[in-house]
Structure 1
Amino acid sequence: MDRNFLQRVLSGFIYAVILIACVHPIGAETLNNILPLTIKQHYLFYGLMSFFFLAGAWECMRIMKFGGGYEKWIVFPLAIFIFYLFSKRFFYHDFFFNFRLTEILALSLILIAVVTLFRSTNELYYDSGKLIFTVIYTALPFGFALGLPRYSAYENTFSLEVFFLFILIWSSDTFAYLTGKFFGKHKMAPKVSPKKTWEGFAGGVILTIILAFFIEKYNPGLRGNWMVVGFLVSVFAPFGDLVESQLKRSFGVKDSGNIIPGHGGILDRLDSFIICAPVVYLYFILEKLI
């Protein structure tokens, strides 16, 4: 058997185990049974999102190849400060009780950054543009991800929104791939991602919504309507992949990194999540207001 295949399977398995342990209560339960410690699930989740954010920001900087100006030195201080503001809201449960107009502004910045990537790439060849894009593309999505689950530090409970979000993203990718493999004829974006087809996209949407129906049926305590979440994920997960593909293509890079052997970098694995997390968070905001 191909050694690279075994490496890919092993590293993918380890990645999945770590991720699930940090976004599902089974993680803290298992560690508390093994170690003489009391570990809260929300600390594992926060640690995972913090690592994803920092590693993603580092990879984004490498992809965009900053010059010798001052901008590359303030990327991390600025991004960490913004993520810190989200962190305060996370630990004080402020996500669930207060809606702020600054959230809409931050979500709008993500949209503007994506449009700039596809329509005005020249702006990103300046270090100032690279600075702004890196901060928006990494600090904001993982910051909003902190607002997806509900938890109680006193009752040691942690809800499963992020866990099922990852399940839907992985399933959407698989459904779209299989549908496209057997029925795909019309390319979605041949210059950016030549393997994606409209038939695969349609199959991913339909099958992901069906899966989301059963997720909600057997997990009625989740926030929002998960058929809506399934639709949003099936639409925006492929778009997230296209965004990262366009970023790498613009700067002549094949992989964002090699932190996960055989799978690439953090941005390669989380390109869909980076777009889906703020989109689903926006849906939760609107659903609460309605």
Structure 2
Amino acid sequence: MPKAQHAKPKATAQQTAKSQPKKKSPSEDKKQHKDSKQKPAPVVNEHEKKKQTFIVRTIWTLVMIVGMFSIISAGPLWTIAFVILLQIMVFKECIAITSKGAQNEDLQHSSYLNWYFLATTLFYLEGRSLIKYTFAFLLGSSYTPSLALKLLIHHKFICYCLYVLGFVGFVALLRTNSLKAQFTQLCITHMLLIFVISQGYCIVNNIMHGMFWFLFPAGLVITNDIFAYLCGITFGKTQLISISPKKTVEGFVGAWVCTTIMSILLTYIISNSYYFICPVNGNLSVNCLSGITCDPNPVFIEQIFTLPVDLAKLLGRDYIYLKPIYLHSMVLATFASLFAPFGGFFASGLKRAVKVKDFGDTIPGHGGVADRMDCQFLMGSFSYLYYEAFISTDQFNVGNLLQTIVINLSVEEILVLVTSLLNYLYKMGAIDEDVHNKIIELLI
């Protein structure tokens, strides 16, 4: 008996129509062809891309330079406020890219502690600078209450207590399942306080020494960065450091030469204004229109330099007149060119570690604020230490003396000191006998 054959069901007309590709009408085919002509595939032109990046970067560089000069012209108080703002913004950007672990662990209190430690450190360091240079003004002002003076006297102790309070808060908020993330965040926070806030403290002191010591180092870093970029895209072939592939030896060396030459021009321009070379003597409210005058530091005064024998024969003279600041400026230019860029390399390593391109997008063409300040902090701390070691001639001032007296002497001892000073002024002829006797009577 033959096996029954299973007949396959015939496909319906509807199924057949679905399986077959739908034929396009001539009008639809023509329309699709027209759309393909109107929307060609985007072609990436590296030359145009670099050109556009260069234009944006140049424009915002000029904007930053003009903005910085405007703030500097407003006076040291606004400049200090600007530096403090920059420190806060850099701290914010660095914390944002390095605290992903804490965010994943939902440790919101760690963010609050970061800002608490920042505020405490700023209050200690920047407050210390302001007290050092304005104590005499605050002590003599009739608007300064006695409570404020007591707080100024015990500033260090108050700051220590505030820090200990934050430390206790950190330990109290430790969670067993998130210890690694919390301690990692604490270490990152303190590293940023050392690299950003501590070096920012040096920059604030540079402002107090005179605007020159803030503007000139900052100008050297900006100059070096511009010429490193220009020399790099023009002559760059040899990679300088693996952590920053775009940095080249040609750009590095070319920027050094150009920055050293430009340092002489910058020194000539800036050092001829009293507003830039005069230190801040307790009055932070001055500006570029205040007509400041002072006895300039000897480095800003022409001095006679004896030339080496061979060089004297070549030039036909035994000595030259030169301001020592020009020699110091070349030292600062060398540091700005050969050492300060490693602050940028350090920042590049940090960005690679956390896998981000920039610290932020605050400045078009430049990334975040931290991307522009990475070299400035290192340059600022070097300028501060260089000034203290080789430039400063005034290690003791009225503010320091008054602060020492008020903190270390009792009221009775201060009265004895005042009486002794009055006797000295009377004997030197600075005050007459009647004034001397009246003041003594009032004190007694």
Give the match's secondary structure for 2:257: helix
- Give the letter for the 1:187 counterpart: Q
How many residue pairs end up in the alignment? 242
Instruction: Supply the distance in 2 between the matched residues of 1:264 and 1:197 (Cα, whole angstroms).
Output: 20
How far residue 288 of structure 1 moved from its aligned partner, in angstroms, is 4.1
Look up the match of 2:373.
Answer: 270
How far residue 271 of structure 1 moved from its aligned partner, in angstroms, is 1.5
How far residue 246 of structure 1 moved from its aligned partner, in angstroms, is 0.8
Look up the match of 1:187.
Answer: 239
Give the match's secondary structure for 1:196: strand
Of 349, 362, 369, the match for 1:246: 349
Instruction: Supply the distance in 2 between the matched residues of 1:123 and 1:229 (Cα, whole angstroms).
Output: 40
How far residue 127 of structure 1 moved from its aligned partner, in angstroms, is 1.9
The reply on whether 1:233 has 2:285 as its aligned counterpart is no
Look up the match of 2:429.
Answer: none
CA contact (8 A) 2:235 2:251 kept: yes
Instruction: Supply the distance in 2 between the matched residues of 1:124 and 1:18 (Cα, whole angstroms).
Output: 39
Instruction: Supply the distance in 2 between the matched residues of 1:200 and 1:235 (Cα, whole angstroms).
Output: 12
% same residue = 24
How far residue 55 of structure 1 moved from its aligned partner, in angstroms, is 0.8
CA contact (8 A) 1:86 1:144 kept: no
Instruction: Supply the distance in 1 between the matched residues of 2:249 and 2:389 (Cα, whole angstroms).
Output: 29
Instruction: Supply the distance in 1 between the matched residues of 2:342 and 2:96 (Cα, whole angstroms).
Output: 22
CA contact (8 A) 2:340 2:378 kept: yes
Structure 1: gaps (5+ residues): 29-40, 96-121, 152-157
Instruction: Supply the distance in 1 between the matched residues of 2:329 and 2:55 (Cα, whole angstroms).
Output: 35
Query: Which deviations, in whole Å up to 9, do the C-alpha atoms of 1:118-142 show, x marking residues without a partner?
Result: xxxx999922321222222321121
Cα RMSD of the aligned pairs, angstroms, is 3.1
Instruction: Supply the distance in 2 between the matched residues of 1:245 and 1:141 (Cα, whole angstroms).
Output: 19
Instruction: Supply the distance in 2 between the matched residues of 1:246 and 1:82 (Cα, whole angstroms).
Output: 26
TM-score by length of 2: 0.49
Closer/same/farther in 2, CA of residues 8 and 175 from structure 1, 3 Å limit: closer
Query: Which deviations, in whole Å up to 9, do the C-alpha atoms of 1:223-277 show, x marking residues without a partner?
Result: 7611111111112332121111111111011111122234321101211112211
How far residue 201 of structure 1 moved from its aligned partner, in angstroms, is 1.3
Instruction: Supply the distance in 2 between the matched residues of 1:13 and 1:197 (Cα, whole angstroms).
Output: 24
Closer/same/farther in 2, CA of residues 143 and 150 from structure 1, 3 Å limit: closer
Instruction: Supply the distance in 1 between the matched residues of 2:59 and 2:337 (Cα, whole angstroms).
Output: 27
CA contact (8 A) 2:216 2:267 kept: no
Structure 2: gaps (5+ residues): 1-47, 135-179, 278-296, 300-324, 394-444
- Give the letter for the 2:206 counterpart: L
- Give the letter for the 2:64 counterpart: Y
The reply on whether 1:55 has 2:106 as its aligned counterpart is no
TM-score by length of 1: 0.72
What is the 5 A alignment of 1:1-290? 11-23=60-72, 25=73, 28=74, 41-66=75-100, 67=102, 68-69=106-107, 70-94=109-133, 126-150=184-208, 159-190=211-242, 192-218=243-269, 219=271, 221=277, 225-288=328-391
Instruction: Supply the distance in 2 between the matched residues of 1:198 and 1:5 (Cα, whole angstroms).
Output: 20
How far residue 17 of structure 1 moved from its aligned partner, in angstroms, is 2.5
Instruction: Supply the distance in 1 between the matched residues of 2:236 and 2:55 (Cα, whole angstroms).
Output: 29
